[in-house]
Structure 1
Amino acid sequence: MDRNQATGLILIAVMILLYFYFFSPEPMPVEEKTPTTEFVEEGKNIESSDSLVVETETATVNDSIQNLLNQQKYGVFANGATGTAAENVLENDLLKVTLTNQGGKINNVELKKFTTYTNEPVVLINEERNKFALLLNSLGKQIDLNKLYYSATSQSVGDTSVLTYTLNIGPGQNVKHIYKLSQGSYQLNYKLELNGLEQYISQESVSYQWYDHIKTQEKDVEMSRRNSTINYYTLGEDFDGLTEGSNSTEEEVVEESLKWIAIKQRFFVAGIIAKQSFEKGKFITSIDAEDPSTVKYAKVNLSLPAEDIKSGKAAYTYYFGPNDYHILGDVAEEFESNLHLGWPPMKWINRFVIIPLFDLLGGFISNYGLIIIIMVLMIKLVLSPLSYKSYLSMAKMKVLKPELDEIKEKHGDDMTKAQQEQMKLYQKVGVSPVSGCIPMVLQMPILFAMFYFFPQSIELRGKSFLWAEDLSTYDSILHLPFNIPFYGDHVSLFVLLMTMSTILYTWSNQQVSTVQGPMKTFSYLMPVIFMFVLNSYPAALSFYYFVSNIVTFGQQALIRKFVDEEKIKVILEENRKKNVNKKKSKFQQRLEEAMKASNQGKTKK
Structure 2
Amino acid sequence: MAMVYDAITNAIGGTKRITDSVALVQRQADSLKNLTNQGTNNPIVVPDSVRNLMINSEFGALSGLAQGQITEPTLENEVFKITFSSKGGRIKNVLLKEHFKIYTDSLRKDTKLPLYLFEDIKNRFEYIIPTATAKGKISTEDLYFTPSVSGNQLVMRASVDANTFIEQKYVIGKGFDIDYEAQLKGLGVVANPNIKTVQLNVENYLDLLEKNDTYERSYSYQRYKIEGETSDYLGATGSDREELNKKPITWISHANQFFNTSFLSQGAGFKSAVLESEGYDRSSNDLKKVVSKIELPFSGGEAALKMKIFIGPNDFNLLKSYKIGLEDVVDYGGSILGTINRWAIRPIFDFLQGIFGNAATCILLLTLIVKALLYPLSYKQLRSQAKTTALKPEIDKLKVKLKDDQQQVQVETMKLYNEFGVNPLGGCLPTLLQMPIWMAFVPIFSCFDRFSPKRFFMGNRPHGL
Return the TM-score normalized by structure 2. Answer: 0.79
Does the CA contact (< 8 Å) of 2:185 and 2:302 recur in 1?
Answer: no
Alignment of 1:130-141 (within 5 A): 130-139=123-132, 141=136
Counterpart amino acid of residue 334 in structure 1: G
C-alpha separation in 2, matches of 1:333 and 1:139: 40
Change (3 A) 1:412 1:225: farther
Alignment of 1:414-493 (within 5 A): 418-463=409-454
C-alpha separation in 2, matches of 1:91 and 1:70: 35
Change (3 A) 1:278 1:123: farther
Paired residue for 1:317, among 298, 308, 314? 308
Report deviation, 1:258: 2.5
Report deviation, 1:308: 9.2
- Aligned equivalent of 2:70: 85
- Aligned equivalent of 2:34: none
- Aligned equivalent of 2:150: 155
Counterpart amino acid of residue 8 in structure 1: R
Paired residue for 1:195, among 167, 178, 185? 185
Does the CA contact (< 8 Å) of 1:129 and 1:214 recur in 2?
Answer: no
1:143 matches 2:138: yes
Q: Which has the higher contact order (CA 8 A, sep 6+)?
A: 2
Q: What percent of counterpart residues are identical?
A: 26
Change (3 A) 1:414 1:83: farther
- Aligned equivalent of 2:28: none
Report deviation, 1:70: 2.3
Report deviation, 1:412: 6.1
- Aligned equivalent of 1:185: 175
- Aligned equivalent of 2:210: 218
- Aligned equivalent of 1:277: 270
- Aligned equivalent of 2:57: 72
Counterpart amino acid of residue 136 in structure 1: I
Report deviation, 1:445: 2.1
Counterpart amino acid of residue 387 in structure 1: S
- Aligned equivalent of 2:222: 230
C-alpha separation in 2, matches of 1:309 and 1:325: 42
Report deviation, 1:387: 1.7
Does the CA contact (< 8 Å) of 2:101 and 2:115 recur in 1?
Answer: yes
Change (3 A) 1:416 1:144: farther
Change (3 A) 1:148 1:402: same
1:125 matches 2:118: yes
Report deviation, 1:401: 1.7
Change (3 A) 1:420 1:381: same
C-alpha separation in 2, matches of 1:343 and 1:181: 34
Paired residue for 2:17, among 8, 28, 45? 8
SS in 2 for 1:423: helix
Change (3 A) 1:310 1:462: farther
Change (3 A) 1:360 1:7: farther
SS in 1 for 2:446: helix
Return the TM-score normalized by structure 1. Answer: 0.62
Change (3 A) 1:5 1:290: same
Counterpart amino acid of residue 212 in structure 1: N
Does the CA contact (< 8 Å) of 2:127 and 2:199 recur in 1?
Answer: yes
- Aligned equivalent of 2:90: 105
Does the CA contact (< 8 Å) of 2:124 and 2:141 recur in 1?
Answer: no
Change (3 A) 1:407 1:92: same
Q: Deviations over 1:290-341 (max 9, x none)?
A: 23x33x1213132322159977651122111011112111346121111111
Counterpart amino acid of residue 243 in structure 1: G
Report deviation, 1:65: 4.4
C-alpha separation in 1, matches of 2:60 and 2:14: 15
Counterpart amino acid of residue 127 in structure 2: L
- Aligned equivalent of 2:7: none
Q: Which has the higher strand share?
A: 2
Change (3 A) 1:410 1:454: farther
- Aligned equivalent of 1:249: 239
Change (3 A) 1:441 1:145: same
Report deviation, 1:151: 1.5
Counterpart amino acid of residue 181 in structure 2: K
C-alpha separation in 1, matches of 2:393 and 2:62: 92
Change (3 A) 1:75 1:409: farther
SS in 2 for 1:185: coil
Q: How many residues align?
A: 414
Q: Deviations over 1:224-269 (max 9, x none)?
A: 112211111122423111233x3x3344444444222212111111
Q: Which has the higher helix share?
A: 1
Unaligned segments of structure 2, at least 5 residues: 1-10, 25-45, 104-111, 460-465
Does the CA contact (< 8 Å) of 1:260 and 1:271 recur in 2?
Answer: yes
Unaligned segments of structure 1, at least 5 residues: 16-60, 465-469, 475-605
